[in-house]
A and B are shown apart, each in its own frame.
Chain A
């Protein structure tokens, strides 16, 4: 069947085609090229863009999308969507602010209660999807509506207003703010703590995806759930865990909301779920699941933050803001697509 000569050959050929091909085969490469192109573009178009202060603002904006994009991208690789992710951030923030204020608790206790509640919401999303076998698009659309209604209804019932009461002067605010919403000077550059959380989450998610059994399972349940089940992968548990991962990211973002702004508007967060998904898609995640990376989603969030703020730095006519935003996203996605197609054709 196989001659020794052929048997010896593979390693040689592998070494010859490997480095470039490996790089080109990465899901995040297209997004990375798009990000570089955008960076160069805005550097030329906007004087203020290259200042260090501006860069930390861009990073901050990216991180607020990026933290959620980590959870959402893992979920997408696992083959599911979570449309409730945007309002879940608000829910998480409201739970902290309302419980702590109404029961006069230390804010850390409020944060802990919120973590439990938010993870339970993720669990609920996951259980509903797994048990009913309905598309997650429908299930989480339902929870999206329910959460948006609960945010408003509960807040109004409890406080009599549509925003939570300010928790700025309560116990634990300062220490929690240091953890979730402070900024640090790193080598003369101000870096928001959310950026550190973001990078930490991306690193953890990348390690999880590529170096652990759980990561293998995530790719498998998204790529071919039946095959995965057949070889003994606990598909239901993996998917539920992914929904809870999104919930954890929502909690982290929610804590930033509470401790950065002290009061939480109950109507906030609607529509953000699509931005998270867009970040993941720009970063190379397949809408159908089974392919993608956390680093890609981070690059996607960076592209998003850069475009969003770059337009402000370039001081373009704000009437055209959304047009430019859309055009930038289109360009980034097309670059991504072209690169991936080229790689697929050559391999």
Chain B
């Protein structure tokens, strides 16, 4: 762990027209650490990611990468500084073969601009195999893979291309228990390789086992920013669910059930 965090937001904010999507949020992610960002739908998680990934520029506050202030105008710029983002729904191009997806945007070329196809096929197969995905045919359209497999391809891709920071947007959201486990295991692997991981999720049970820091967002604001030793799983779950609201909900549901 180094002293300056790899990625750091101070008082970052973003508004779309007169809608304030994010206000005054702090975040840091250091190598070998997993920073979890938790929040319900509409809490501002995706805005936060888009700022970190370079898709949108922040309006207020500062964004520093390795101590240098940045303002990205495209994801490419973020990528060049080693910040790779894996999106929940737009991670891949479904109709394209797995290996083309794996190298998309960072194609390996030989002389005359020719693609080095054998290398890319073999590398894709090896990298996926190392992750525990056994693909018979890397020429298959990636759309034919399962959701978890697709996430893993995207994560493996980011790691292979030398990402220093990995931003994961709800990688476990659409997955079954077993597949989510595979993805969580890979998050830990990425951390152990010395990457700074920013893991966005709404599931505290996925976040707590792998996370080192936890940022909880609600309606565009931070409602808690804790290291693992400051907070227990139950506290995190409570914060995440908005404590009192959850009790209220449980109460209502029980009453509803009794009526029927």
* Interface, chain A (partner B; CB < 8 A): 1-2, 6-7, 9-10, 13-14, 17-18, 22, 211-217, 219-220, 223-224, 226-234, 286, 290-291, 347
CB-based nearest B residue for A18:
B137
B95 surroundings in chain A (CB, below 8 A): 219, 223, 286, 290-291
Question: Interface stretch among B31-39, B128-136, B194-202, B219-227?
Answer: B128-136
10 A–B contacts, CB within 8 A, in A order: A18-B137, A212-B113, A216-B103, A219-B93, A224-B93, A228-B104, A229-B75, A230-B85, A232-B76, A233-B104
Given contacts A10-B136, A228-B105, 7 further A-B contacts (CB under 8 A): A7-B134, A10-B134, A216-B96, A219-B96, A219-B100, A232-B75, A232-B106
Q: Mark B84-107, 1 if CB is under 8 A from A, else 0.
A: 010100111111100010011111
B85 surroundings in chain A (CB, below 8 A): 230
CB-based nearest B residue for A214:
B113
CB-based nearest A residue for B136:
A10
- Bound-state Cα–Cα, A347 to B114, Å: 29
- Bound-state Cα–Cα, A229 to B54, Å: 11
Main SS at interface, chain B: loop
B96 surroundings in chain A (CB, below 8 A): 216, 219-220, 223, 290
Q: Within 8 Å of chain A (Cβ to Cβ): is B173?
A: no
Could you tell me if B113 and A10 are in contact, using CB atoms closer than 8 angstroms?
A: no
Known A-B contacts A224-B90, A290-B93, A291-B95; the reply to A216 vs B104 at CB < 8 A is: yes
Number of interface residues of B (CB under 8 A): 37
Could you tell me if A231 and B105 are in contact, using CB atoms closer than 8 angstroms?
A: yes
Q: Within 8 Å of chain A (Cβ to Cβ): is B210?
A: no
CB-based nearest A residue for B79:
A232
CB proximity of A3 to chain B, nearest CB, Å: 9
B103 surroundings in chain A (CB, below 8 A): 216
B81 surroundings in chain A (CB, below 8 A): none
Could you tell me if B129 and A227 are in contact, using CB atoms closer than 8 angstroms?
A: no
- Among A6, A212, A227, the residue within 8 A (CB) of B91 is A227
Known A-B contacts A219-B96, A219-B100, A223-B96; the reply to A230 vs B90 at CB < 8 A is: yes
Q: Within 8 Å of chain A (Cβ to Cβ): is B145?
A: no
CB proximity of B159 to chain A, nearest CB, Å: 14
- Bound-state Cα–Cα, A250 to B157, Å: 39
CB proximity of B209 to chain A, nearest CB, Å: 18
Known A-B contacts A212-B113, A213-B115, A232-B79; the reply to A220 vs B104 at CB < 8 A is: yes
CB proximity of A343 to chain B, nearest CB, Å: 12
- Among A22, A213, A226, A291, the residue within 8 A (CB) of B90 is A226
